[in-house]
Amino acid sequence: MLQGSMVAIVTPFKDGKLDEDTLKKLIDRQIENGTKGIIPCGTTGESPTLTYEEHDRVVELTTKHVAGRVLVVAGAGSNSTREAIQLAGHAKDVGADAALVITPYYNKPTQKGLFEHYKTITEKVDIPVVIYNVPGRTGVNIAAETVAELSKLKNIVAIKEASGSLDKVTDILSRCEITVLSGEDALNYLIIANGGRGAISVTANVVPDKCNKMCDAALNGDHETARKIHYELYELNKAMFYETNPIPVKTSLAMMGLVNGDFRSPLCHMQETNKQKLEKVLKDYKLI
């Protein structure tokens, strides 16, 4: 079910509120360029600063506007199991295809705590769950052994692996048959070549067509084409992380005229030196 290039889509704001019309346009642009799945309310969507009402609205709007054209994997994570259940339940109620559930951040649960967290969610909400491992954000790294145990549960269908470690991907795939999705754009091709099934991408916000072609080529065994695009995207992938995500990607979309570039505090506009570097990269890629 989950494979190919999927986008962790930005959340556009206007005058401090959700910019729903722009979000719809961004979704349509992704689908027109071959993106296989839309992921609202992830880190790239500035989910930590959305109110519960806004979070629910973004997921519902996305699901309704996608209207079955591609998959919707709704961000539904929290460092509270109870809150994650609430978010996953809403995702199911509005028709999302799956829930992306980040490992609980800040409170740093043990591996047993992580297992119980995901197990409880799957017991309470009948929706496919994608584990999201990004230790650089959360302060906790789910072990391959824990992933293997979780993969035995009915509704655990995939893991978005963003630890930056190919060894970790190999360890997971050597233990179980869970679907591994790259959460690290610089490693998208390498993870697919190592047995992954696709990517949940930041860079796809900017170049959805290229990301889609790279993933499709890799999955179809055309590694010459996939490697070529992988190298072509190298500098752009780096540029998306000149500062904390989603600052560079949202700034890029603003430079391209696709969003107005508003952020929710404590995120803020790019430092001028980094913005100039980003602008040069976008010009080099003929995106602006």
Active site residues: 132, 160
CB contact at 8 A, 264 and 19:
no
Q: Which of 183, 235, 158, 165 is nearest to 43 (CA)?
A: 183
Largest interatomic CA distance in the chain: 49
Backbone angles phi, psi at 8, to 5 degrees: -85, 95
Q: Is the dihedral of CA 35, 29, 95, 87 positive or negative?
A: positive
Q: How far apart are CA 151 and CA 122, in angstroms?
A: 11
In the chain, DSSP assigns E strands to: 4-8, 13-14, 17-18, 37-39, 71-75, 98-102, 129-133, 156-161, 179-182, 198-201
**How many other CB atoms are found less than 10 A from the CB of residue 282?**
18
Q: Which residues contact 8 (CB under 8 A, 6 or more apart)?
A: 39, 42, 43, 44, 45, 200, 201, 202, 204, 205
